[in-house]
């Protein structure tokens, strides 16, 4: 059954001039693999554009909000605000999951792969907003959804590098430096998912997944901090 994207427009309070842009923002590559006659394209180019718009809007906001903060800390703040988990959670909160155009196989997957798909779709939506209505509207949308998270991220120290924190804690409590090992690689070449384990000596403490080894290592370190009660 065709998706009624007008319901999504009503939900976010924005009506698109070009409806094809909105549909494209929700179209995953896998859907077109099963529907080659669809006559439209996937959301990967919009995601690329939306990522740049999102980075600029968040960077400008943080630069203005924290005039005395170093470049390194501002970068960490931004990373915590635009990471896969944050964007996926925001996408789910505005109902994007109900409108995704996916293959039958992807529709059944509700794990890490869906998290990545939702985060990518959120960036694609921002890209579509930018093309359809300009930077000011896209920035306003970002301000509504992401800027309210800034204070909590900064106060809760969610921006700190999990690998660094786990290494410091591990050396303090055990005098052992953590090591990381790739446990699994899955998915097609254009959308690899890495599973990384973090070890203290020969003991596997936790594992994490991500679209890059760096992201998977960060998730593994964060889980390890929680598992050991060092967070």
Candidates 42, 47, 51, 120; catalytic one: 51
- Whether 27 and 136 map to the same domain: the answer is yes
- Whether 94 and 167 map to the same domain: the answer is no
Last residue of a domain, one of 155, 178, 201: 155
Last residue of a domain, one of 155, 182, 208: 155
- Whether 185 and 133 map to the same domain: the answer is no
pTM: 0.74
Candidates 123, 132, 215, 217; catalytic one: 123
- Whether 147 and 72 map to the same domain: the answer is yes
Using only the alpha carbons of the chain, give its radius of gyration. 19
Residue 211, SS3 per DSSP: coil
Which has the closest alpha carbon to 99: 53, 43, 140? 43
- Whether 60 and 114 map to the same domain: the answer is yes
Provide CB contacts within 8 A for 57, sequence distance 6+. 138, 139, 142, 143, 146
Helix, strand, coil share of the chain (percent; to 5): 65, 10, 25
Q: How far apart are CA 118 and CA 147, in angstroms?
A: 19
Instruction: Read off the CATH number of the domain in which 171 is found.
Output: 3.30.160.20
The pLDDT of residue 109 is 72
Tokens matching residue 230: 């060092």
pLDDT in tens, the chain (231 residues): 467 899 999 999 999 999 999 999 999 988 888 887 777 899 999 999 999 999 999 999 999 999 999 998 898 889 889 988 889 999 999 999 999 998 887 777 767 778 889 999 999 999 999 999 999 999 999 999 999 999 988 876 666 678 888 998 899 999 999 999 999 998 887 778 999 999 999 999 999 998 889 889 989 998 999 999 987
- Whether 110 and 212 map to the same domain: the answer is no
Segments in 68-110 forming alpha helices (H): 71-81, 84-93, 104-108
Q: How far apart are CA 180 and CA 213, in angstroms?
A: 10
Q: How far is CA 51 from the centre of its chain?
A: 10
Give the position of tokens 């598992």: 227
Specify whether 60 is catalytic: no
Range of 201's domain? 162-228
- Whether 75 and 178 map to the same domain: the answer is no
Q: Specify the number of domains making up the chain.
A: 2
Last residue of a domain, one of 103, 130, 155: 155
The pLDDT of residue 40 is 81
- Whether 86 and 197 map to the same domain: the answer is no
- Whether 94 and 183 map to the same domain: the answer is no
Specify whether 51 is catalytic: yes
The pLDDT of residue 126 is 98
- Whether 192 and 83 map to the same domain: the answer is no
The pLDDT of residue 85 is 82
């Amino acid at each position: 059954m065709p998706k009624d994207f007008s319901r999504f427009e009503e939900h976010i309070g924005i009506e698109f001039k070009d409806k094809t842009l909105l549909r494209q923002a929700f179209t995953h590559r896998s859907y077109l693999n099963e529907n080659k006659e669809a006559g439209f394209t996937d959301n990967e180019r919009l995601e690329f554009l939306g990522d740049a718009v999102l980075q600029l809007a968040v960077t400008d906001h943080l630069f203005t909000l924290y005039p005395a903060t170093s470049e390194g800390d501002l970068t960490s703040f931004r990373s915590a605000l635009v990471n896969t988990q944050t964007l996926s959670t925001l996408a789910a909160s505005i109902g994007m999951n109900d409108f995704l155009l996916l293959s039958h196989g992807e529709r059944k997957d509700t794990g890490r792969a869906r998290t990545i798909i939702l985060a990518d779709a959120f960036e694609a939506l921002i890209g579509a907003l930018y093309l359809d209505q300009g930077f000011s509207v896209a920035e306003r949308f970002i301000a509504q959804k992401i800027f309210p998270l800034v204070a909590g991220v900064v106060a809760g120290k969610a921006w700190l590098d999990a690998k660094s924190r786990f290494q410091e804690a591990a050396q303090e409590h055990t005098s052992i430096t953590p090591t990381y090992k790739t446990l699994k690689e899955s998915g097609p070449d254009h959308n690899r998912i890495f599973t990384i384990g973090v070890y203290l000596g020969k003991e596997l403490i936790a594992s994490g997944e991500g679209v890059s080894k760096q992201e998977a290592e960060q998730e593994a370190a964060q889980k390890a901090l929680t598992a050991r009660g060092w967070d």
